[in-house]
Amino acid sequence: MPSRRHELLAYAVPRLRRSRELDDVETERRRIEAWHATLDHALPTSAVPFFTRRYAVVREELAPGFASYTVSDRRRPPTRTVVHLHGGGFVAPLDPFHVRYVARLASSLGARVVVPDYPLAPEHTWRDSHEELVALVQRHLATGEDVVLAGDSAGGGLALAVALSLRDRGGPQPSRLLLISPWVDLTTSTPETYGLDAVDPWLFVGKLDAYAAWWAGAPEDLGRPEVSPALGDLSGLPPALMFFGTRDLLSPGGRLLTRHAREAGWDLTSIEAPDLLHVYPLLPFVPEAARAWRTTKEFLA
């Protein structure tokens, strides 16, 4: 049974974020494009007290309008690298939840955490960032350092897509993959997804369909491994840990990935948490998230 704190956040978070189904696709596109025009793309550090005093941040321009931030704890020299790809349905930028989790990775693991602020849909598709993300991870791998590739929600699917491309191109590979409620099948080939629309208080099927189409850019690209990595060849990937809750529209995709991983012989540890929210390991002050964090540290140790 979920904790009281989890249930409080399950009620509060969707309301604080004003989560609701879209009215229609074109109205949603105009709304998001207007919102994007107001973004300053600064790292949102408000969730971490004394962030600037405790953490060093280096900004790198990967391409025009496409930056990456590297966060490290000033009190602990980094000994490894985590490349974390943020979620948000491919339409939302980094938010304080992500920065809080990134700071925790940096402090607890003694890691430099690289957080790309990749171009967003609907103005951009996967083609506008995939090659740069692969090259970014390759640069860190080329130094011989230990590199973990991680992501949450849409960023979890993106991390897996990058891992597939890295495998296909040969060379050094990440030591581990960390996937938090990943969006890995944008074709929504799992019919159970639609049955969860009344259960998930945060995500909505209409938005998933619209955002998936925007990110793919063309219907024929929806099933590509760069877009829907659960449908690709999963053999030869690094060991991975995945979390997802069942009160989540993306949970059928998590089960699909688990089945395909087993068939491909991929070492994927899949933790399915009954009745928990989307990206529950990122939620603050929740015992279920604390348990997930302990498992994450053991896996990455």
Classify each residue of 176-201 as buried b or exposed e, where b means 16 or more C-beta atoms within 10 Å of its C-beta: bbbbbbbbbbbbbebeebeebeeebb
What DSSP letter does each residue of 137-192 carry, written as one string? HHHHHTTT--EEEEEETHHHHHHHHHHHHHHHH-S---SEEEEES----TT---TH
Active-site position among 68, 107, 153, 165: 153
Rg (CA), the chain: 18
Q: Quick one: CA torsion of 77, 279, 19, 212, rounded to 10 degrees?
A: 100
Active site residue 153: yes
> What residue has token string 């209409």?
206
Beta strand pairing status for 55-63 and 147-152?
unpaired
Q: Which sign, positive or negative, has the C-alpha torsion 198, 201, 117, 268? A: negative
In this structure, the strands spanning 176-180 and 80-85 are unpaired
8-state DSSP, 85: E
Write out the catalytic residue numbers. Answer: 153
